[in-house]
Structure 1
């Protein structure tokens, strides 16, 4: 099988139509159909089912797509890298909201001292979205908190963080020296949206202790949760990095729960099949070296 077959197959998968794939690739539909037929005969499998004039991948087709997609994108990466080897270049980086708000600007500043002519494009989203963008080859690498182990991801720890349970200094729990998780869960909880690393990790911890998480507020805005906690509307569950200034100013206080480990690692992640450029490797090295001075206890 050739790269041409893989490109045609990936295009048909994405458009779910041989006619649309043919138009996209500037080919005739019979040529597309013939290439798919050759693939099916070569592997002895059926790749598509046709329902209501739409093509759907079979189980075997889906398996082939996982490989074909990365074969095609790797080729495109190599082609782009070679063609642009003497040009300025672009680095595409993803970051979760915590890292995007508190750390990445410093890393980019250090990077531009070494590579002033390389453009750094940054996408800041929650961790689930960033992980999907890595899988789709939309990013060179990303900086996020610990993710569920995925076979297609390579990870490197570069820093640490912890989740903070924060309350107004006037909250009834603020005066208590000893708190249990049960005490916390009885209060109105102000948490990030599903897909956020802080939310997902805290929910895992709650479930592992035999409880369930029933938040009163859910928001993609850490600032909204901080303001709500400051106004005694509940307890904010956030990254220490997002709330440290409010703690230092004593606008909020941190509630400590006995025997509850809320620490987490921050990681560089990229696709197993990704060929990192020299510039990308340098940026990752900056993150790791800088992370040593950003460790949180």
Structure 2
């Protein structure tokens, strides 16, 4: 998008004492927490970036940052204004595309938890890129707590997670249902058993995801009444490591059916039936409440919901 001219905006008689370029510089410094790195990212001199920030702060008589050590941290005012500035820049970019007569969704930064990111969301990303080939997209796969942290820091536009999140600054939108499966190696003694009893569950060595994961959250809820008595033999933070450990006969596991599709089809792993245990769960979209969804985010969510 072309740089905004260095004059104040006037809307309904109100003089806006900022430019879009000043907002871009403010947001870059907020992300980098350093004026020099922000200037480099924006291809401008450090002195020009520093002057633009100083002018913006002087225009409104506020401090947007506090210096802590060698870093610049957002002040209370900066934290409040950051999502509003990001929303304005995003809408300005969409307006720019509209003036050009281009139907582009805009840039998109997605964060996905491990199961969704490794086994599901890439298909949607492929479709998104085919529909909007000019859009710049970033795709980050991490644990659910990391995705939440990135969203709160405004490092991603939308999160896709498999855990129930409760945070005052996050909107949680249900996406689709998923099901967890208990499974073992094809050579495990339980592989030929039609259904597992509570006694079988208590006698087994369990290889599970870490306690903060969405998969573990569902497992713990499903095992109500038995949870404290189960033998948690290993806790691993990657699905592939769990599948490999189970395949070697080390114990039995519990993961999303999405993560188990191919090894179950090959016969390397065997799904086990358990009585009276609800293993259903939901996947969710996460949005920051202070950030109005851009056209890119809205189109991404619509694509994911209607495939």
2:250 aligns with one of 233, 236, 260: 233
Q: Which runs of 5+ in 1 are unaligned?
A: 16-22, 40-47, 54-61, 291-297
Structure 2 residue matching 1:237: 3-state secondary structure: strand
- Per-residue CA deviation, residues 234-266 of structure 1 (Å, 9 max, x unaligned), is 012211111111112221111111100101111
Give the deviation of 1:287 after TM superposition: 0.4
TM-score after normalising by structure 2: 0.69
Alignment of 1:190-201 (within 5 A): 190-201=207-218
| Residues 1:244 and 2:252 are matched in the alignment | no
| Residues 1:162 and 2:179 are matched in the alignment | yes
TM-score after normalising by structure 1: 0.71
The 1:64/1:211 distance shift into structure 2, 3 A limit, reads farther
Aligned length: 273
Q: Which runs of 5+ in 2 are unaligned?
A: 1-16, 34-46, 70-74
- Per-residue CA deviation, residues 169-224 of structure 1 (Å, 9 max, x unaligned), is 22222233332345224321111233321122212333565535552222222222
Supply the distance in 2 between the matched residues of 1:188 and 1:69 (Cα, whole angstroms). 48
The 1:243/1:82 distance shift into structure 2, 3 A limit, reads same
Would you say the 8 A contact 1:157–1:288 is kept in 2? no
| Residues 1:116 and 2:129 are matched in the alignment | no
Q: CA RMSD in A?
A: 4.2
| Residues 1:173 and 2:190 are matched in the alignment | yes
The 1:283/1:236 distance shift into structure 2, 3 A limit, reads same
Give the deviation of 1:289 after TM superposition: 0.7
Alignment of 1:1-297 (within 5 A): 26=50, 67=80, 70-71=83-84, 73-74=86-87, 77=90, 89-207=106-224, 209=226, 211=228, 214-290=231-307
